[in-house]
Amino acid sequence: MSGGDKLDFEIRPNPAPVSAAERAALLADPGFGRVFTDHMVTIRYADGKGWYDARVEARAPIPMDPATAVLHYAQEIFEGLKAYHAGDGGVTLFRPEANAARFTASAQRMAMAQLPEQAFLDSLRHLIEADREWIPAGDDGSLYLRPFMYASEVFLGVRPAAEYLYVLIASPVGSYFAGGVKPVTVWVSPHYTRAAPGGTGAAKCGGNYAASLVAQAEAIEHGCDQVVFLDTVERRYVDELGGMNVFFVYDDGTLVTPPLTGTILPGITRDSVITLAREAGHEVVERPVAFDEWQADAASGRLREVFACGTAAVITPIGRVRFPDGEFAIADGGPGEVSMAIRQRLVDIQRGRTDDPHGWVHRVI
Ligand SMILES: Cc1ncc(COP(=O)(O)O)c(C=O)c1O
């Protein structure tokens, strides 16, 4: 099974899946990241052997030696994407090749083995085939797919591991923010930064999120939904949110978003929004936005809308901004027209309700 890009997956159906009645009850209100499906995919890697033992099996705990490298040195990366019901009974994914490419880039940055991108894509298809009954019906629901990989070698020592385990699990989800699309309040962290130049900000590694949690907790203490990180060097320019990229919409219709300089995650939603906004006739500029400029433009009314974007939250308007010295609103604090129009176009493409001129929708079933 090793070598080449194409792995053979052994399918071992879960002998004791959740009953249809229990599944229906779980799908009625799945929340986000609380409910999991019957199966998982695992693929192993060892130096000198390559990728082997690709299988779909019952989702179950993974026994781990206490000296497993990931528990000590945090060599771990992940991805997140959603599967949707297509209108005709099929199932689709949105730009999964982009997630596969980002997984490779994250693995490179973290000095990990690189799973062939075809195997990544095949793993998604196999899990969806096994767990398709878990995709929620309805306009908000989707099956969130969580591919991840960690250093599974049993050793203590600071060097890249020689063994890795790739795992894919799935979780039926509703809206990321409770209450659907309503503007959120964000907290601009005065103390904590997320990623320095030359660091791991552009990689989707667990360590970035571990480091962000204290800032996210501070945001919640201040009654905010999400934290905004400023840059590490000057503590002045907006990088991104804890789990989303950010866009600013000005009164002349221009959209501005921080550039990809290696300190922020290159979001697939961010990239899609840039394309869709340009198609809708907006100018889109990738440039640094200073926090003082954000405040001044909100005060003058030149800044009309701000929104966060990512797979989990799609496009979420930012209505208020809080920081240690005060607080301000963006326009009237309500959802902006431009944000909501781009959101609608994006969601319609993702859910197969409209044309897909960029070939972003990938049919799985
Ligand atoms: C830190 C961070 N930024 C941005 C994003 C948005 O990325 P994407 O649009 O690919 O989901 C995410 C979510 O994955 C994230 O965790």
C-alpha–C-alpha distance, residues 94 and 143, integer Å? 12
C-alpha–C-alpha distance, residues 97 and 122, integer Å? 11
pLDDT in tens, 278-318: 999 999 999 999 999 999 999 999 999 999 999 988 999 99
Nearest atom within ligand 1 for CA of residue 311:
11
Same structural domain for residues 254 and 291? yes
Same structural domain for residues 241 and 327? yes
Boundary (domain end) residue, out of 173, 192, 219: 173
Residue 1's pLDDT is what?
42
Boundary (domain end) residue, out of 173, 206, 235: 173
Q: Quote the ligand 1 centre to 254 CA distance (angstroms).
A: 22
Same structural domain for residues 90 and 204? no
Q: Quote the ligand 1 centre to 80 CA distance (angstroms).
A: 8
Give the residue whose CA is nearest to atom 3 of ligand 1. Answer: 244
Q: Give residue 177's pLDDT band: very low, low, confident or very high (50, 70, 90).
A: low
Question: Are 84 and 91 contacting, i.e. CB atoms less than 8 angstroms apart?
Answer: yes
Substitution site in 244, 257, 274, 311 for ligand 1 pocket (most atoms within 8 Å of beta carbon)? 244
Does residue 180 carry a pLDDT above 70? no
- The CA-CA-CA angle for residues 78, 121, 38, to 5°, reads 70
Give the residue numbers marked as catalytic. 204
| Pocket residues: Cβ below 6 A from ligand 1 | 80, 240, 243-245, 265, 267-270, 310-311
Residue 178's pLDDT is what?
64
Does residue 135 carry a pLDDT above 80? yes
Strand partners, 255: 249, 284
Same structural domain for residues 121 and 217? no
Same structural domain for residues 58 and 78? yes
Residue 138's pLDDT is what?
80
Same structural domain for residues 308 and 195? yes
Q: Name the residue among 353, 318, 273, 322 with its Cα closest to residue 86.
A: 353
- Produce one character per residue of 273-291: b if its CB has 16 or more CB atoms within 10 Å, e if not: bbebbeeeebebeeeebeb
Q: Residue 31 belongs to a domain with what CATH number? A: 3.30.470.10
Mean pLDDT taken over the chain: 95
Question: Are 330 and 303 contacting, i.e. CB atoms less than 8 angstroms apart?
Answer: yes
Same structural domain for residues 216 and 261? yes
Q: Quote the ligand 1 centre to 81 CA distance (angstroms).
A: 10
List the domain range (segments joined by +) for residue 30. Answer: 10-173
Same structural domain for residues 234 and 132? no
Boundary (domain end) residue, out of 149, 173, 197: 173
* Helix residue spans in the chain (DSSP H): 20-28, 70-73, 96-109, 117-131, 206-221, 268-279, 291-300, 337-350
Would strands 142-151 and 76-78 be described as parallel, antiparallel, or unpaired?
antiparallel
Q: Name the residue among 166, 124, 126, 133 with its Cα closest to residue 37.
A: 133
Domains in the chain, number: 2
pLDDT in tens, 34-51: 999 999 999 999 999 999
Nearest atom within ligand 1 for CA of residue 269:
9
Q: Residue 210 belongs to a domain with what CATH number? A: 3.20.10.10
Give the residue whose CA is nearest to atom 15 of ligand 1. Answer: 243
Calculate mean pLDDT across residues 338-353.
95
pLDDT in tens, 205-250: 999 999 999 999 999 999 999 999 999 999 999 999 999 999 999 9
Q: Quote the ligand 1 centre to 310 CA distance (angstroms).
A: 5
Same structural domain for residues 164 and 217? no
Same structural domain for residues 136 and 231? no
